Amino acid sequence: MVDLKKLKQEKLKQSLKKKLDSNVRVFVDENSPCLFRDVSKCIKCGRCKEACEMATGLAQHYDVNKPGKPDVCIGCGQCTLSCGVDSLREKSSYRQVLEELNNYDKVLVVSTAPAVRVALSEEFGFDFGKYDEGKMITALRMLGFDYVFDVTFGADLTVMEEANELVSRITKKAGKLPMFTSCCPSWVKFVEMFEPSIIPNLSTAKSPIAMQGSIIKTYFARQKKKKPEDIVHVVITPCTAKKYEITREELSVSDDFGYMPGVKDVDYVLTTRELAHLIRRQNIPYGNLYDGTFDELFPRGSGGGVIFGSSGGVMESALREAYYILTGNMPSENLLKLEKVRGLNGVKEDEINIGGAIVKVAVINGIKNAYDIIQKVKNNTCDYDFIEVMTCPGGCIGGGGQPKVKNVDDFIRKKRSDALYSKDESLNIRCAHNNPQIIKVYNDFLDGPLSETSKALLHTKYFDRSKEIKKL
């Protein structure tokens, strides 16, 4: 028999807890794939709530995240960086990954996002913003991965698809303008929940990790004569929201490109912090490791793929490519260093002359800074052609899964960002279309950007999720 008194008490307890959450701290759903709160450690300082609002501006602009209103989380994890008592952290997956690493029947593949390599070594006492992919690669091999790939390959694919999509929206009117980038899962979730009317403005190109996952579970699987389910693909990211992104069924298209229940294109996401934890846990002497190199097939991508980790980087890379598509020429030095879209300002803008046509662009650093532009898009008074939005301050280098050995501030963000731009400048290949592996995959398998195969594997769809807010 149902104990009504107990049920009532439980309801009251829940509603008091929610009230406390709304007033003092961010609410973390126990089913969140991204975040976890250890309530016993929380000192109710309220810093998480401030960090959430600083990044998203949700309570200021929408009727949520305040007393008596629904609590909404878009998974960016900025709250975890602000929590000084380790009460808030990512929903950890490292135990499952450790188990997989002992599964000798599977092919274990890991891919690492660009922002990870300029922050991981902070966990081991090195300077902020040290570009260090070599030790990271060796550590991943020592953990037991069979293949270590670079997400900058996936970033190059995203650029190829997104730039072609932009050009076709501009020249053939094949879609709405302005086109927004879509590689930040928190931004995508925000649009789906709060601003679904601008869904047609989102690029349909998948994020770099999602494209990388689809290629690994199809092209790579066929090369290795494996089925998608025989491969475990782990991605190391600076991002807690990617843990949510990989749960989106429409992003898993392996096995003859149709969704096959239970088989994901990316099986696990670990944050930079979780990787550091794993390295320590397995007693790997990070500081003394020799420099490893990525495995062939998907080694480091172009410089354009490397700068994806900084606010403005996605825009800059896509414009290099759009310039090449429209003029047939390599971008000039100016285009290879688009100063106006770099840096930590909330809104950055530029006008680019591409073969006589002026393309107006904006880069939004932090969703809270997107509000005014979104209103203009909805009123048809926005004259930008292309807009990048990233949720975290400074872009993914400031992601919610990055180390927090010291309070992460603009000094640290700039150091990490500068490291990515310096790497880009040092590389011979700066544009995705010059990357030999990209050329090979398009020739051997994909049949060119925006082909039928590319659309099936590398593009996605979005959904109006505004009703989910009312349900809360």
Residues with catalytic function: 162, 165, 183, 203, 242, 245, 250, 396
| Cα–Cα distance for residue pair 82/45, rounded to 1 Å | 10
Stretch that binds ligand SF4, among 172-180, 235-243, 288-296, 416-424 (CB under 6 A): 235-243
Count the alpha carbons within 13 Å of 121 in the hemisphere toward its beta carbon.
21
Per DSSP, what are the bridge partners of residue 7? none
Instruction: Supply the angle between the helices 313-327 and 151-171 in degrees, to the nearest 10.
Output: 60
**269 near ligand SF4, judged by CB under 6 A:** no
Q: Is the peptide bond before 178 cis (omega within 30 degrees of 0)?
A: yes
Integer CA distances (angstroms), 321 to 40, 167, 307, 434, in order: 50, 10, 14, 10
134 near 290, Cβ under 8 Å?
Answer: yes
Please identify, using beta-carbon distances, which residue of 178 and 312 lies nearer to ligand SF4. 312
Please identify, using beta-carbon distances, which residue of 302 and 391 lies nearer to ligand SF4. 391
**52 near ligand SF4, judged by CB under 6 A:** no
Please identify, using beta-carbon distances, which residue of 122 and 221 lies nearer to ligand SF4. 122
**391 near ligand SF4, judged by CB under 6 A:** yes
Stretch that binds ligand SF4, among 180-188, 209-217, 323-331, 336-344 (CB under 6 A): 180-188
Stretch that binds ligand SF4, among 91-99, 183-191, 331-339, 343-351 (CB under 6 A): 183-191
346 near 365, Cβ under 8 Å?
Answer: yes
Stretch that binds ligand SF4, among 149-157, 276-284, 318-326, 390-398 (CB under 6 A): 390-398
Q: Are strands 88-90 and 35-37 parallel, antiparallel or unpaired?
A: antiparallel
Stretch that binds ligand SF4, among 6-14, 37-45, 139-147, 179-187 (CB under 6 A): 179-187
**390 near ligand SF4, judged by CB under 6 A:** yes
Residue 65 CB, nearest approach to ligand SF4 (Å): 17
SS3 letters for 243-254? HHHCCCHHHCCC
Residue 394 CB, nearest approach to ligand SF4 (Å): 9
Residue 370 CB, nearest approach to ligand SF4 (Å): 12
**238 near ligand SF4, judged by CB under 6 A:** yes
| Angle in degrees, CA 69, 73, 74, rounded to 5 | 135
Stretch that binds ligand SF4, among 28-36, 248-256, 387-395, 403-411 (CB under 6 A): 387-395
**417 near ligand SF4, judged by CB under 6 A:** no
Please identify, using beta-carbon distances, which residue of 116 and 354 lies nearer to ligand SF4. 116
Count the alpha carbons within 13 Å of 123 in the hemisphere toward its beta carbon.
23
Could you say which of 178, 208, 331, 395 contacts ligand SF4 (CB under 6 A)? 395
Residue 185 CB, nearest approach to ligand SF4 (Å): 6
Please identify, using beta-carbon distances, which residue of 271 and 437 lies nearer to ligand SF4. 271
| Cα–Cα distance for residue pair 36/226, rounded to 1 Å | 35
Site for ligand SF4 in 62-101 (CB under 6 A): 76
Residue 428 CB, nearest approach to ligand SF4 (Å): 27
| Spatial CB neighbours of 98, under 8 Å, sequence gap ≥ 6 | 278
Integer CA distances (angstroms), 328 to 202, 338, 354, 413, in order: 26, 19, 11, 35
**241 near ligand SF4, judged by CB under 6 A:** yes
Please identify, using beta-carbon distances, which residue of 391 and 437 lies nearer to ligand SF4. 391
Name the token pair of 320.
């290099």
163 near 322, Cβ under 8 Å?
Answer: yes
| Cα–Cα distance for residue pair 165/168, rounded to 1 Å | 5
Continuous segment of H or E residues that includes residue 359: strand 357-365
Name the token pair of 95.
């135990």
Stretch that binds ligand SF4, among 159-167, 373-381, 392-400, 429-437 (CB under 6 A): 392-400
Please identify, using beta-carbon distances, which residue of 195 and 326 lies nearer to ligand SF4. 195
SS3 442: helix
Residue 62 CB, nearest approach to ligand SF4 (Å): 18
What separation, in Å, do the N-terminal and C-terminal C-alpha atoms of the chain show? 28
Residue 78 CB, nearest approach to ligand SF4 (Å): 8
**239 near ligand SF4, judged by CB under 6 A:** yes
Q: Which of 296, 327, 311, 292 is closest to 431 using CA atoms?
A: 327
Could you say which of 209, 211, 377, 396 contacts ligand SF4 (CB under 6 A)? 396
| Cα–Cα distance for residue pair 132/211, rounded to 1 Å | 24
Q: x/- binding map, residues 184-213, to ligand SF4, per CB under 6 A?
A: xxx---------------------------
| Cα–Cα distance for residue pair 401/238, rounded to 1 Å | 5
Residue 307 sits at φ, ψ, to 5 deg, of -80, 0
**178 near ligand SF4, judged by CB under 6 A:** no
Residue 304 CB, nearest approach to ligand SF4 (Å): 17
- Binding residues vs ligand SF4 (CB under 6 A): 76, 184-186, 238-239, 241, 390-392, 395-396, 399
